[in-house]
Amino acid sequence: MLIELILIFILGLCVGSFINVLIDRIPNNKGFIKGRSYCDHCKKKLGVFDLVPLFSFLILQGKCRCCKKKISLYYPIVECVTAVLFVAAFYFLSSTSYHLSSIIYHLFIVSSLLAIFFIDLKYGIIPDKIVYPAIALSLGYLLLTSQDIVPYLLSALGAFVFFLMLLILTSGKGMGWGDVKFVILMGLLLGFPGIVVGLYLAFLTGAVVGVILILWRKKKLKGSTIPFGPFLVLGTILSLFYSDFFLKILMLKFF
**253 within 8 A of 206, measured Cβ to Cβ:** no
pLDDT band at 6 (very low <50, low <70, confident <90, very high): very high
**202 within 8 A of 234, measured Cβ to Cβ:** yes
Tens digit of each residue's pLDDT (9 = 90 or more) over 24-69: 889 887 776 666 666 666 667 766 666 678 888 788 777 777 777 7
Query: What string of H, E and C letters represents the secondary structure of 150-197?
Result: HHHHHHHHHHHHHHHHHHHHCCCCCCCHHHHHHHHHHHHHHHHHHHHH
pLDDT band at 118 (very low <50, low <70, confident <90, very high): very high
pLDDT at 254 over 80: no
Average of per-residue pLDDT across 8-14: 94
User: What is the predicted pLDDT for the residue at 115?
Assistant: 96
pLDDT at 125 over 70: yes
Tens digit of each residue's pLDDT (9 = 90 or more) over 84-102: 999 999 988 887 766 888 8
User: What is the predicted pLDDT for the residue at 32?
Assistant: 66
User: What is the predicted pLDDT for the residue at 48?
Assistant: 66
φ and ψ of 54, to 5 deg: 65, -50
Give the separation between CA 85 and CA 217, rounded to whole angstroms: 31
> How far does the chain reach from its first CA to its final CA, in angstroms?
40
Tens digit of each residue's pLDDT (9 = 90 or more) over 185-226: 999 999 999 999 999 999 999 988 888 877 777 655 444 577
Tens digit of each residue's pLDDT (9 = 90 or more) over 176-186: 899 999 999 99
Give the separation between CA 184 and CA 60, rounded to whole angstroms: 42
Q: Which residue has the higher pLDDT, 135 or 101?
A: 135
pLDDT at 253 over 70: no
Give the separation between CA 235 and CA 204, rounded to whole angstroms: 9
Nearest to 25 by CA among 36, 13, 14: 36
Tens digit of each residue's pLDDT (9 = 90 or more) over 141-156: 999 887 789 999 999 9
User: What is the predicted pLDDT for the residue at 205?
Assistant: 93
Q: What is the mean pLDDT of the chain?
A: 86
What 3-state class would DSSP assign to 38? strand
User: What is the predicted pLDDT for the residue at 64?
Assistant: 72
Question: Cα torsion at 90, 92, 97, 100 (round to 10°)?
Answer: -20
Model confidence, pTM:
0.89
Q: What letter represents residue 26's amino acid?
A: I
